[in-house]
Amino acid sequence: MLNNLVGVYGVPTPPSFTLDYLVVAGGAGGGNGAAANNNGGGGGAGGFRTGTSFSVLGGTSYSLKVGAGGAAQSNGATSIFSTIESAGGGAGGGGNPAVVGQAGGSGGGRSFTNATAGAGNTPSTSPSQGNSGSTGSSANFSGGGGGGASAAGSVQNGGAGTASSISGSSVTYAGGGGAGADAGNGSGGAGGGGAGALPASTAATAGTANTGGGGGGGASQSPTISGAAGGSGIVILKYPDTKTATFSGGVTQTTSSSGGFKISIITAAGVSDTVSW
C-alpha cells in the first residue's frame, strides 16, 4: 500500500480523483431601442459547458471565476474552472448606438434595422456551448431573440437553455433574451432569459442571476426603452464526499453533501479565485 503513495525519489504522490462540473458564463445585455421602429435584439445566453470525470490532483490549485452578466448592449463575461472556459453571451443588436448582434457563448439577436445576428459557440467547443441569435421581423418591427444553450433564438423569442441536475435537482440554465417589438414582445428562453420591451409601456427584463440568461431587448418610440442586463453565470462542482475543497478568499460558495458526494455551488461574479483539495 505504501508503494502506491510514493512517487519518484520517494516523494509522496498526491492522490487524484475525478469530479463533475457545470460552468455557465454571464449572459449578455439586450440591445437598446431607437427611433423609427428599431426595436432591440435579445442578449445571448452565457456559454454552457458540463462534463464528468474531470481529473483532479490533490494539493493542486485550480482557477475559478464566475462571469458577470453584461449591461445593455454589452457581452457577458467568461466563467472558468481550470481549463474549462465558457464564453460570455453575445450582446443583442441595438439602435442607440447602432450595433449588430454579437457573437459569444450564445449569440445576440439583431435589432430590427441592423442586419446581422451574432453567432453562438464562439469560440468553438465540442460539444457546442451555445447557439446563434435570430433575425427580426417586419410584422411587429421586432428584433431577434438571443440564442440559448439548447436552441437558437427565434423571431422575437429567446432560445431555450439546457437543464442540469448536478446541483441535486433539475435546473435550466442559459436561456436567450427575448427581443423588443411593437406588439407581442419576445419572451425569454427557459433558463433565465429576460423578456423584451414594448414601446412606451413595458420595460425589458434582465436575465436571472446565476443562470447565465440573456437580457431582454429594448423598444423604440415614445420614449425609447433600453435593453436589460444579462444574468450572471455559475460554477458547480460535484466530487466525492471524502474530499474537502479549499477556496481562496473572496469566493462566495455553498457546499452540501448528498448520496456520497459533495456539491459546491459558486455564485459570486467577477472574482478570480482558486480551489484545491
Q: Mind listing the pLDDT tens digit for each residue in 116-154?
A: 999 999 999 999 999 999 998 888 889 999 999 999 999
- Pick the range with the lowest mean pLDDT from 17-31, 152-166, 237-251: 237-251
Report cis status (omega within 30 of 0) of the bond before 123. yes
Phi and psi, residue 240, nearest 5°:
-60, 140
Give the SS3 label for residue 265: strand
For the segment 238-274, what is each residue's pLDDT rounded down to a tens digit? 999 999 999 997 788 999 998 999 999 999 998 889 9
Q: Between the CA atoms of 142, 143, 144 and 148, what dihedral angle is there, to the nearest 10 degrees?
A: -110
Please report whether residue 151 resides in a domain.
yes
Q: Which residues contact 10 (CB under 8 A, 6 or more apart)?
A: none
Please report whether residue 186 resides in a domain.
yes
- The dihedral built from the CA positions of residue 58, 237, 209 and 218, taken in this order, carries a sign that is positive
Residues in the chain: 277
Domain tally, the chain: 1
Please report whether residue 10 resides in a domain.
no
Concatenated DSSP letters of 135-153:
--BTTTTB-BPPP-SSS--
Please report whether residue 54 resides in a domain.
yes
User: What average pLDDT does the chain have?
Assistant: 92
Please report whether residue 9 resides in a domain.
no
CB of 156 closer than 8 Å to CB of 217? no
Whole-structure pTM over 0.85, yes or no?
yes
Please report whether residue 276 resides in a domain.
no
CB of 165 closer than 8 Å to CB of 18? no
Q: Which domain holds residue 125?
A: 15-234+242-253+262-269
The rounded percent of the chain whose pLDDT value lies above 90 is 77
Please report whether residue 76 resides in a domain.
yes
Please report whether residue 19 resides in a domain.
yes
